Structure 1
Amino acid sequence: MPRVRTRHIAICAFIVLWIYYFLPRDEALTYVHNYGHRGSHGSAVALARYMNDYPPHITATQSSFDWSSVNFTYPPRLTPKLPAPFTKRPRIQHNFKRDSRPVAAVQEQRRIEVKRVFRKSWTSYRSQAWMKDALKPISGEYVDQFSGWAATLVDSLDTLWMMGMRDDFYEAVEAVATIDFGKSTAPSVNTFETCIRYLGGLLAAYDLSGHEVLKTKAIEIGDLLYAGFNTKNGMPVDFMNFEDAKKGGGLTVEGQVVSASPGTITLEFSRLSQITGDGKYYAAVAHLMDVFHQGQHDTELPGMWPMYVSMSEKDVVTGHQFSIGGNADSLYEYLPKAHALLGSVDPSSKMYEIMSRAFMDTAMNNLFFAPMTPGSEDILISGNVDVLADGPTLDPESEHLSCFIGGLYALGGRLFNSDEYLDTGAKLARGCAYAYKSFPTGIMPERYNMVLCPGPDRRIPCTWDEVRYAEEAAKRSQYKSDLPKGFTTAKDPRYLLRPEAIESVFILWRITGDPVWRETAWEMFQAVANATDTQYANAAIMDVNVVGSRQEDYMESFWMAETLKYFYLCFADTELISLDDFVLNTEAHPFRLSRG
C-alpha cells in the first residue's frame, strides 16, 4: 500500500476517534458534514457511515401543479447574470481558542438544557400538530396560517440538524418530500412569509445536509414565488392569488405594502440561483432592488426608505415614517447580508454595499438614542423618525422587532471594516439586553417608550434626572407607576417568543468573543424558558411586567426556527454555523457562503 495512502487512512482514523470520543454527538455529526465540504467527500461519507449518520434514500413526491410550467404573460428579464462567487470576504468571526474544561462543562450543560426545551416543543408538535403550520402550546391544538404546508416542520429542519437530532431530521425530510405546493389552505399566498420560512428553511437544510429532496422542494416553492413576478411592471405581488397565478395571465401589484415585504427576497432568490445554476431568480430580485437603490437618496430621510411603499408605482420615496422596526426591519437586514453572499465586484451586486453604508449612517445619526436610565448605562435604543413640515422628529418608541439591529451593525462592522459600526452594534445589543433585565420577568416587552437623553448628540449617555423622568412619563397616557425606572410605557407588554434580542447577542458573541454575551444569553434563556413553559411547549405571555403572567395559546414556528436556535448556538462549539461560512436569513436559516 503506498505510504501516502497509509498516512491518509491513519489521519482519517484519528479524526474519527477524536470526533467520536471527544465531541458531543450533535456537534460531531455537524463536523462530519463540514469535513465533507472542506476536505474529501469520500472521507466524510465514511465518517458518516461510522457514526450511523448516512442519509436514507428519500424520493420527493411531485406537487399536484408544476409551477415551472406557468406560461407568463409578463416574463421577467433574465439579466443581470448571477455574479461569480465572492472570494475576498473579510474575516467575520472571532478567532476563538478552546474553552478551559470548567468553562466547557458549564456551556455544555447550558447547551443540553436548550436542546431539552427544543425537544419538548418538537415532540409536542410531532404528536399534536404534525404537518400543520403551528402547534397551539396550551390547548395542544393546531393552526394553519401559512398555506398549510407544515411551516413549523420546514422551519425547524436546520435546527434539528444542528442539534444532532438526525432521526427526527430524516423523518421530517421524508414528510417534506410529500408536501403539495400545488394546493393551499388559503386563497392567497403571503410572499414574504413563504419566502423566509419555506424557501429559506429548505435552502438552509439542503446547504447543511446536502439531501437532494430538499433541493427539489426548494425549486418547487421557488418557482411558485417566482410566479409572483408575473406582473406588468416586473415587481412582485405581496399576496399571490393562488389560482390566478397558475393561469399565467398576469397578476396585479398592490398599491401599498410594508417596505420589508418586497425588500426581503434577495437572499433566498440569490441562493436558489447559486445552488441551481439558474439565474432567473437572481435577475428578478435584482430589478426589484434596483428600484430601492435608485430611490434611496430621494426620500424625506435620505438613506432610508419609508415604512410603506408602492410596488405598483415603483414608488419607494413617498412617505414620512421611518423605522428599522416592524414593517421595515428585514429590508435593512438583507442589505449587508446580500453583500456577504454576493460581494461587490459585479455591478448588479455592488449596490448592496452602497445601500448598506448609506442606511447605516442615516440610522446611526437619526434613529438611535441613549436613554436616560438610573445607572447612566452606555447603551443605545432604536427609535422611529417622522419627517413633517418642521423636519425630522425622533420618537423614543422601540420594539422587540428592532433588536436585530445590534447584530446587524456588528456584522457590518466586520464586512465594511468599521469600528464605529461594531461599537454601535454592541451598544444597541446591550440596550435590548438592558430592557430584558429591567422587567420583573427578565423579558422585554413587545413595544415600549423610554426618555431621550438631552443634548445635540442624543447618542451620548446622560445622568439620571428624576424630575425630567416624571415629566416625560406624565405625557404618556399609557404610563403606569409600576414600570421599571426609565420606561415611560410598555405599550404592548407581551412577549411573543421573539428571537431578535438573542439574535444580536449571538452575533456579538461570535464576532467579539467576549464571554459577557454568553452570560447575557443564559440569563435571557432562563427567563424566557421559565415564563413561557407549558404542558406541551412554550407560549407567549401577556405581560412581561407581571411575574406569573397569563399565557396566550400562541407559538409561531420562529420559536424553534430562530429563538431556540440562537440560544443553542450561543453555547455550542463556535465552529457550528461559523459566521465565516454562513449568512443567516431573517428566519435564522443559514445559507452557505460560496468560496469560488
Structure 2
Amino acid sequence: MKSYRLLLAFAIFAAVLFIHRDRVAYAGFKSWSASSSLVFGGHVDWSQVPKQHPVTSLHALPTGKPKKLPKIQYSFPTESSSEKTLREERRLAVLDAFKRAWNSYKEHAWMADELTPISGEKRNTFAGWAATLVDALDTLWIMGLKAEFNEAVAAAVSIDFASTAQEEINVFETTIRYMGGFLSAYDLSADERLLVKAKELGEMLLHAFDTPNHMPITRWKVMDARRGAPQIADPVTLVAEIGSLVMEFTRLSQITGDSRWFDATHRVMKLFEEQQSKTHVPGMWPILVNAREMDLTWHTDFTLGAMSDSAYEYLPKMYALLGGLEPMYEKMYRDAMNAAIRYTLWRPMTPDNADILIAGMAHVDANHKGGLDFQGQHLVCFAGGMFALGGKLFNDQTHLEMGRKLTDGCIWTYKALPLGIMPEVFHMVECPTNEPCEWDEKAWHKEVLRRKGDENADVQKVIAEERLPPGFSSLDDRRYILRPEAIESVFILYRITGRKDLQETAWRMFNAIQENTKTALANGALADVSREDGKVSVTDSMESFWLAETLKYFYLIFSEPDVISLDDFTFNTEAHPFRIPK
C-alpha cells in the first residue's frame, strides 16, 4: 500500500517538510533518566509517559454480532493434476526468489531496515527498526518458513521503539509496516510475543495524537515527544498519511479489547466523513489537508494515486474489518468512488483499442472548474483491486467492472513496455470520453510534440529518442522500484473472478521482473524500464515491500485459493492480512 510512495510533487513534499519544522518551540524539556520507572527491559514504557491532552471520553468499538458479509472469493472448481503441477512449479519459483532475498538480508543487513542488493550493505530508512524483518514476518509464515519465522520473531522483540538516530519518523510508514506487520503475524501465528510488541508500538504511536485537537502529527519528532515536548498537528499534511492509520489501530483494539486505538483514528475518520461533501470535488478529499485547523477542503488536486491512495483503499476494508457494523464506511466508499469515476478515471487511446481505464489527477478549483491530468502511475494500480473488492462487498457491478478495466489497464501497460514492466509515471493520449475510441496516429504524434514542448520537432526522432511505445506521450519517471500494486490488483481480481488468464499474466510479470532486477544477492530497482538495448541499469535499492508485498502477492496467486482467503482476511496497504471477525 503503498508505501511511502511519495514520488510525485517533490516541490509540494518539500513544502510539507518545511512547514512541518515550523512547530512551536519547546523550552525546558523534562528528561527521563535511565533509572526512571518509565523504562522496562531496556525500553521506555510509553503507557507511563504523561499526555498533555488526555482523552476524557472514548469512542468504543462497534458492538453486536458482525453482519454476514457477501462472499468475495470465486468458487474455484477442483483443478486438474496438470494445472496443479504447473501452479506448484510457479509457486515454488516465487518461494525461491523470496528465500534468496531473505537469506541475503539475514547475512548482510540483519536488523537494519534494508539490504542494498548490489553492494551488500545495510541501510536505515525507517528509523533503524529492522523494517524488512518486521515487514516480512507474515510472508515467512504464509510461505511455510516456520524456522525462519521463529528466528525473526525472536529478533524483532528486541527492537527498541523509543530509540532512533532519526530526527523524526513517518507515523504512517511506522504504522503500516511495523504495527501492521506485528498484528498480521500475530493473527496468523497466535504468537503472544508479537501482540506484546504491537501494543508497545501502539502505546508509542498514541502519543503522536497528543495534540490539542487530537489530530496526529504525521512527521513526528518521537524523541521530543518522549521528553515531554508540546505538540501540535501540522497545517499541511498528506491526506493518505493522516487517513490511513485506521485499519491497524482498529485491529489492535479488536484484539486487545482496548478502545483507545480505535478512538484515536475514529476521530480522524469522523472528520473525513463530515467534510467529504464540502471539498472542491464532493466525495473526494484533496491530496493536502490542514490537520491543525481540521480543514480537509482547501486544496484543489484530487487523485486515487500517490499522496491519497490508501485513504480510499481503507474505506471498504474498514467496513469488512468492523463486520459491517459501522455504516459510514460504505457511504464514504460509494461517495468517493462515484466522484473518482467522474473526475479521475480516463480511457487511453491505444493501437489495439483496448477496453481499459487509467486513474489520473484532477485539478479542480472552488468553482468546480479545472481539468484532468491524463497521467498514469504504477502506484495507482492498486485501485483496480479496490474497485473490485468494493464491487463485491457492496454488490455494485459498475464498480466491479471499473476494477476489471483498471486492472487490465495496468496489465496492458506492463505489456507495452519493452521489458514487460511498467514505469513509475507516464502520460498517454486520451479518448474524448471513457467509451472506446479509434486509434489516431496523428493525434498521438501531436500530443507527443505538445508534451515535448516543441510542435516543430521531428516527431519520429522524438519518439525514438524518448523510447515511447505507441500511445505514450511521455515517460515521466522511467523507474521500477519493485512495486507491488499491479500484482496486488491482479491477485485480487483473480480471487474474485477466477479468470485463469490472470495467473498467466502474473507469471509473465514475475518472470519479467526477476529477469531484469536480479542481482548477485537479491533484487534491485530499475532505473529505466524503457531500455531494450542491453543497458538496463539495476540500482542498489530493495525496499522492504519487495518481501512484504510484491513476492507475497505473487506467491498467493499461485497458492490454493483458501490460503489467506479474501472471505477471511483483509489486507492493509502493506499487504499485511488482518483476520475479519466473524
Q: TM-score, normalised by structure 1?
A: 0.87
User: Which stretches of structure 1, 4 residues or longer, exceed 4 Å deviation after superposition?
Assistant: none
Partner of 2:416: 438
Q: Which shows bigger deviation, 200-209 or 181-190?
A: 181-190
Question: 1:226 aligned to 2:206?
Answer: yes
Please identify, of 546-555 and 270-279, the stretch whose mean Cα deviation from structure 2 is larger.
Answer: 546-555
- Inter-partner Cα distance in structure 1 for 2:56 and 2:225: 18
Task: Kindly indicate whether residue 510 of structure 2 is the aligned counterpart of residue 532 of structure 1.
Answer: no
Match of 1:485 among 448, 455, 470: 470
**Counterparts of 1:168-567 in structure 2 under 5 Å?**
168-345=148-325, 349-388=326-365, 391-454=369-432, 458-477=433-452, 480-481=463-464, 482-547=467-532, 548=534, 549-567=536-554
Structure 1 residue 188 displacement after superposition: 1.3
In 1, Cα distance between equivalents of 2:370 and 2:83: 48
Q: Is the 8 A contact 2:162 2:223 kept in 1?
A: no
**Does structure 1 residue 161 correspond to structure 2 residue 146?**
no
The answer as to whether partners of 1:400 and 1:446 remain within 8 angstroms in 2 is yes
Per-residue CA distance 1:256-307 (angstroms, 9 max, x = gap): 0111000110100000000000001001111111111111111111110111
* 1:568 match: 555
Moved more, 480-489 or 415-424: 480-489
* Conserved? CA contact 2:355–2:405, under 8 Å: yes
Give distance in 1, aligned partners of 2:165 and 2:332: 38
CA separation in 1, counterparts of 2:258 and 2:58? 11
2:565 aligns to what?
A: 578
- Equivalent pair of 1:344/1:351 in contact (CA under 8 Å): no
Which stretches in structure 2 are left out of the alignment for 5+ residues? 1-39, 454-461
User: AA paired with 1:477?
Assistant: K
Which residue identity is paired with 2:442?
A: V
Conserved 8 A contact 1:77-1:283 = no
Cα distance in 1, alignment partners of residues 420 and 299 from structure 2? 36
Partner secondary structure for residue 240 of structure 2: coil
Q: Tell me, in whole angstroms, the C-alpha distance in 1 between the residues paired with 2:242 and 2:44.
A: 25
Shift of 1:99: 1.1
Asked if the contact 2:345–2:357 (Cα under 8 Å) also holds between the matched residues in 1, the reply is: yes
Aligned mates of 2:578, 2:313 — CA distance in 1? 15
Once the two structures are superposed, residues 233-273 of structure 1 have per-residue CA deviations (whole angstroms, 9 ceiling, x without a partner) of 11000122122212345412111011100011010000000
Task: Tell me the number of residue pairs that the alignment of Structure 1 and Structure 2 aligns.
Answer: 529
Report SS of the residue matched to 1:317. Answer: coil
CA separation of 1:248/1:72 partners in 2, compared to 1, >3 Å: closer, same or farther?
farther
Q: Secondary structure, in 3 states, of the residue corresponding to 1:109?
A: helix
Residue 74 of structure 1, aligned match among 53, 74, 80:
53
Partners of 2:419 and 2:526 in 1: CA distance: 10
- Identify if the C-alpha distance between structure 1 residues 72 and 90 changes in structure 2 by more than 3 Å, giving closer, same or farther: same
Q: What is the CA–CA distance in structure 1 between the aligned matches of 2:221 and 2:424, rounded to whole Å?
A: 32
Instruction: Report how far residue 443 of structure 1 moved.
Output: 0.2
Q: Secondary structure at the match of 1:475?
A: helix
- For the pair 1:590 / 2:577, whether they are aligned, the reply is yes
Q: 1:476 to 1:556 in 2, by over 3 A?
A: same
Instruction: Tell me, in whole angstroms, the C-alpha distance in 2 between the residues paired with 1:77 and 1:438.
Output: 56
The code of the aligned residue for 1:229 comes to: F
Deviation of the 1:390 alpha carbon: 7.0
Q: Specify the alignment match of 2:21 in structure 1.
A: none
Q: 1:130 to 1:392 in 2, by over 3 A?
A: same
Separation in structure 1 between the aligned mates of residue 175 and residue 55 of structure 2, nearest angstrom: 18
The corresponding residue for 1:25 is: none
Question: What amino acid is aligned across from residue 402 of structure 1 in structure 2?
Answer: V
Distance 1:293 1:77 in 2: 22
1:78 and 1:279 in contact (8 A); partners too = no
SS of equivalent residue, structure 2 residue 243: coil
Kindly provide the CA deviation profile for residues 384-414 of structure 1, in whole angstroms up to 9, marking residues without a partner as x. Answer: 1001367131110111110000000000001
Greater alpha carbon shift after TM alignment, 586-595 vs 390-399: 390-399
Report if aligned partners of 1:77, 1:284 keep a CA contact under 8 Å in 2: no
Q: Deviations over 1:318-370 (max 9, x none)?
A: 0110111111111111111111101443xxx3221111000011111111111
CA distance in 1, matches of 2:207, 2:188: 27
Counterpart Cα distance in 1 of 2:124 and 2:492: 32
CA RMSD between the two structures: 1.3
Aligned to 2:43: 64
Q: Give the percent of matched residue pairs that are identical in Structure 1 and Structure 2.
A: 47
| One-letter amino acid of the structure 2 residue matched with residue 512 of structure 1 | T
Question: Quick check: 1:86–1:341 contact (8 Å CA) kept in 2?
Answer: no
CA distance in 2, matches of 1:422, 1:63: 51
Which of 74, 86, 98 does residue 118 from structure 1 map onto?
98
**Does structure 1 retain, via aligned residues, the 8 Å contact 2:69–2:324?**
no
Q: Deviations over 1:550-582 (max 9, x none)?
A: 111111000000000000001011110000000
Whole-angstrom distance in 2 between the partners of 1:344 and 1:299? 26
Instruction: Please tell me whether the aligned partners of residues 279 and 297 of structure 2 are also in contact (alpha carbons under 8 angstroms).
Output: yes
Q: Which residue pairs with 2:5 in the alignment?
A: none
The answer (yes or no) to whether the contact 1:411–1:507 under 8 Å persists in 2 is yes
Matched letter for residue 514 of structure 2 = A
Of 388-397 and 554-563, deviating more is: 388-397
Point out where structure 1 has 5 or more consecutive residues left out of the alignment. 1-60
The offset of 1:483, in angstroms, is: 1.0
Q: More deviation in 545-554 or 424-433? A: 545-554
C-alpha contact 1:190 1:240 (8 A) present in aligned 2: yes
Matched residues in 2 for 1:191 and 1:317: separation? Answer: 22
Cα pair 2:549 2:574 within 8 Å, conserved: yes
Once the 2 structures are TM-superposed, how far is the Cα of residue 78 of structure 1 from its aligned partner?
A: 4.0
Which segment drifts farther, 317-326 or 540-549?
Answer: 540-549
- The separation in 1 between residues aligned to 2:316 and 2:42, in whole angstroms, is 35
In 1, Cα distance between equivalents of 2:165 and 2:255: 29
**1:138 aligned residue:** 118
Letter paired with 1:471: K
TM-score normalised to structure 2 length: 0.89
